[in-house]
Amino acid sequence: MNLTENRKLIAVKLFHTAIWAILAGLVFYILYAGISGNITPIVYFAIGAIVLETLVLVGFSWRCPLTLVAQKYTDEDSPNFDIYLPAWLAKHNKTIFSILYVVGVVLVMWRLLNSNGS
Protein backbone atom coordinates (compact mmCIF):
# COMPACT_ATOMS: atom_id res chain seq x y z
CA MET A 1 0.00 0.00 0.00
CA ASN A 2 1.42 3.38 -0.94
CA LEU A 3 1.22 6.56 1.14
CA THR A 4 -1.80 7.93 -0.73
CA GLU A 5 -3.75 4.69 -0.28
CA ASN A 6 -2.79 4.62 3.40
CA ARG A 7 -4.09 8.18 3.89
CA LYS A 8 -7.32 7.32 2.09
CA LEU A 9 -7.77 4.23 4.25
CA ILE A 10 -7.21 6.30 7.40
CA ALA A 11 -9.79 8.82 6.19
CA VAL A 12 -12.33 6.06 5.50
CA LYS A 13 -11.65 4.47 8.90
CA LEU A 14 -12.08 7.81 10.69
CA PHE A 15 -15.32 8.57 8.84
CA HIS A 16 -16.61 5.02 9.36
CA THR A 17 -15.82 5.19 13.08
CA ALA A 18 -17.60 8.56 13.40
CA ILE A 19 -20.72 7.24 11.66
CA TRP A 20 -20.61 4.10 13.81
CA ALA A 21 -20.36 6.22 16.98
CA ILE A 22 -23.40 8.25 15.97
CA LEU A 23 -25.46 5.15 15.16
CA ALA A 24 -24.33 3.37 18.34
CA GLY A 25 -25.30 6.47 20.30
CA LEU A 26 -28.75 6.40 18.72
CA VAL A 27 -29.20 2.75 19.68
CA PHE A 28 -28.20 3.52 23.27
CA TYR A 29 -30.57 6.50 23.30
CA ILE A 30 -33.45 4.28 22.19
CA LEU A 31 -32.57 1.80 24.92
CA TYR A 32 -32.34 4.61 27.49
CA ALA A 33 -35.71 5.99 26.40
CA GLY A 34 -37.30 2.58 26.70
CA ILE A 35 -35.85 2.02 30.17
CA SER A 36 -36.55 5.51 31.50
CA GLY A 37 -39.84 6.16 29.76
CA ASN A 38 -38.47 9.47 28.48
CA ILE A 39 -40.00 9.19 25.00
CA THR A 40 -39.21 12.30 22.97
CA PRO A 41 -39.30 13.09 19.24
CA ILE A 42 -35.58 12.25 19.18
CA VAL A 43 -36.50 8.62 19.89
CA TYR A 44 -38.59 8.47 16.73
CA PHE A 45 -35.76 10.05 14.74
CA ALA A 46 -33.31 7.51 16.20
CA ILE A 47 -35.57 4.57 15.36
CA GLY A 48 -35.99 5.87 11.82
CA ALA A 49 -32.25 6.41 11.39
CA ILE A 50 -31.52 2.83 12.44
CA VAL A 51 -34.23 1.53 10.10
CA LEU A 52 -32.58 3.53 7.29
CA GLU A 53 -29.16 2.11 8.19
CA THR A 54 -30.65 -1.38 8.16
CA LEU A 55 -32.08 -0.79 4.68
CA VAL A 56 -28.65 0.37 3.48
CA LEU A 57 -27.04 -2.77 4.91
CA VAL A 58 -29.70 -4.99 3.30
CA GLY A 59 -29.07 -3.25 -0.01
CA PHE A 60 -25.36 -4.02 0.27
CA SER A 61 -25.74 -7.67 1.30
CA TRP A 62 -25.30 -6.87 5.01
CA ARG A 63 -22.00 -5.04 4.40
CA CYS A 64 -21.44 -1.39 5.13
CA PRO A 65 -20.72 0.58 1.95
CA LEU A 66 -17.74 2.14 3.73
CA THR A 67 -16.25 -1.34 4.11
CA LEU A 68 -16.41 -1.69 0.34
CA VAL A 69 -14.65 1.66 -0.07
CA ALA A 70 -11.94 0.69 2.45
CA GLN A 71 -11.27 -2.55 0.56
CA LYS A 72 -9.97 -0.49 -2.35
CA TYR A 73 -7.06 0.71 -0.22
CA THR A 74 -5.89 -2.46 1.56
CA ASP A 75 -5.65 -6.22 1.25
CA GLU A 76 -6.16 -6.63 4.99
CA ASP A 77 -9.22 -8.64 5.98
CA SER A 78 -9.34 -8.48 9.78
CA PRO A 79 -12.80 -7.66 11.20
CA ASN A 80 -11.68 -4.10 11.98
CA PHE A 81 -9.59 -3.29 8.90
CA ASP A 82 -12.10 -0.58 7.96
CA ILE A 83 -12.93 0.97 11.34
CA TYR A 84 -11.21 1.97 14.58
CA LEU A 85 -12.88 -0.57 16.86
CA PRO A 86 -11.51 -3.58 18.71
CA ALA A 87 -11.61 -6.63 16.43
CA TRP A 88 -14.09 -8.49 18.68
CA LEU A 89 -16.53 -5.54 18.57
CA ALA A 90 -16.16 -5.06 14.83
CA LYS A 91 -16.78 -8.78 14.32
CA HIS A 92 -19.93 -8.90 16.48
CA ASN A 93 -21.13 -5.34 15.93
CA LYS A 94 -24.31 -6.16 14.02
CA THR A 95 -25.38 -8.84 16.50
CA ILE A 96 -24.72 -6.74 19.61
CA PHE A 97 -26.39 -3.59 18.35
CA SER A 98 -29.29 -5.43 16.72
CA ILE A 99 -30.14 -6.99 20.08
CA LEU A 100 -29.81 -3.66 21.90
CA TYR A 101 -31.94 -1.95 19.25
CA VAL A 102 -34.72 -4.54 19.36
CA VAL A 103 -34.79 -4.50 23.17
CA GLY A 104 -34.91 -0.70 23.12
CA VAL A 105 -37.73 -0.55 20.56
CA VAL A 106 -39.73 -3.19 22.44
CA LEU A 107 -39.33 -1.19 25.66
CA VAL A 108 -40.34 2.04 23.91
CA MET A 109 -43.41 0.34 22.45
CA TRP A 110 -44.26 -1.13 25.85
CA ARG A 111 -43.94 2.31 27.46
CA LEU A 112 -46.15 3.88 24.80
CA LEU A 113 -48.80 1.16 25.06
CA ASN A 114 -48.86 1.36 28.85
CA SER A 115 -48.75 5.12 29.22
CA ASN A 116 -52.57 5.32 29.70
CA GLY A 117 -52.65 8.71 28.02
CA SER A 118 -50.38 10.37 30.55
pLDDT by residue (tens digit) across 5-21? 899 999 999 999 999 99
The C-alpha atoms of residue 100 and residue 118 are separated, in whole angstroms, by 26
- Best CA proximity match to 25, nearest among 43, 7, 3: 43
pTM across the whole model: 0.91
SS3 percent helix, strand, coil of the chain, rounded to 5, is 75, 0, 25
Mean pLDDT of 89-100: 97
Number of H-type helices and E-type strands within the chain: 4, 0
Q: Note the pLDDT of residue 1.
A: 67
Question: Per-residue pLDDT tens for 54-86?
Answer: 999 999 999 999 999 999 999 999 999 999 999
